Chains A and B, each alone.
Chain A
């Protein structure tokens, strides 16, 4: 069974204080690992897809990396508008299954 575990559950940072969010996963075969941002009362907003170990992707203050067992979302010099819940999800290969398996998310608060 595919599993995704995110840590920490919640993180409070000062504006400008860089940090990393962790996503550990177990999957029979990885088709892709996805990061989403979710604001209160809204649906998840797609951020990144990572396909293989060693891959990295960046968008503004966010950088996602992938190993064979986990992914990190690095946040550099965050701003209050980066406050949100960040979700990690995996998609497994084979069996025709295209749905995503999600972690519970990391609730990030950036204080001015």
Chain B
């Protein structure tokens, strides 16, 4: 399985600011995904990020709020824009490998918005 790292591991941000979360994988992967895990809730898919194409967003998530970049097969970023306390959550990236359907997750970024 791939080794996935995320930066930062945690952050405390002020309302109205933006934070960019990085996801780095130790091998080339086709599919990368971004999830949100709010307290007491299940993981929710934000978007799918495939290299060379625009990210595909799930219902309830928009590009202006969560812009995503995928410049190559080992790296992606998720930006949480114009943050409010409701954005306080754990943000996780995951990767999928071709020929298999399971996904492997990074350690997550714990975001607190004050």
Using a CB–CB cutoff of 8 Å, the interface residues on chain A facing chain B are 4, 31-32, 34, 36, 41-46, 49, 87, 89, 91, 97-105
Contacts and interface: CB of A to CB of B under 8 A. Distances in A.
Interface of B: 1, 4, 31, 33, 40-45, 48, 58, 92, 94, 96, 100-108, 110
A97 to B, nearest CB: 8
B41 A104 contact: yes
A91 B33 CA distance: 13
Contacts of B42: 4, 87, 102-105
A32 B101 contact: yes
Contacts, number: 58
A71 to B, nearest CB: 14
B39 to A, nearest CB: 11
Nearest to A105: B42
A45 B48 CA distance: 20
Contacts of A4: 42
A48 B36 CA distance: 22
B43 A46 contact: no
Contacts of A98: 31, 33, 48, 96, 101
B45 A46 contact: no
Contacts of A97: 48
Nearest to B100: A49
Contact of A34 (B33, B102, B110): B102
A45 B94 CA distance: 11
B101 A49 contact: yes
3 closest cross-chain pairs (CB), A and B = A43-B105, A99-B45, A102-B42
B1 A46 contact: yes
11 contacts: A4-B42, A42-B108, A43-B4, A43-B92, A46-B102, A46-B104, A49-B100, A49-B102, A89-B43, A100-B43, A102-B44
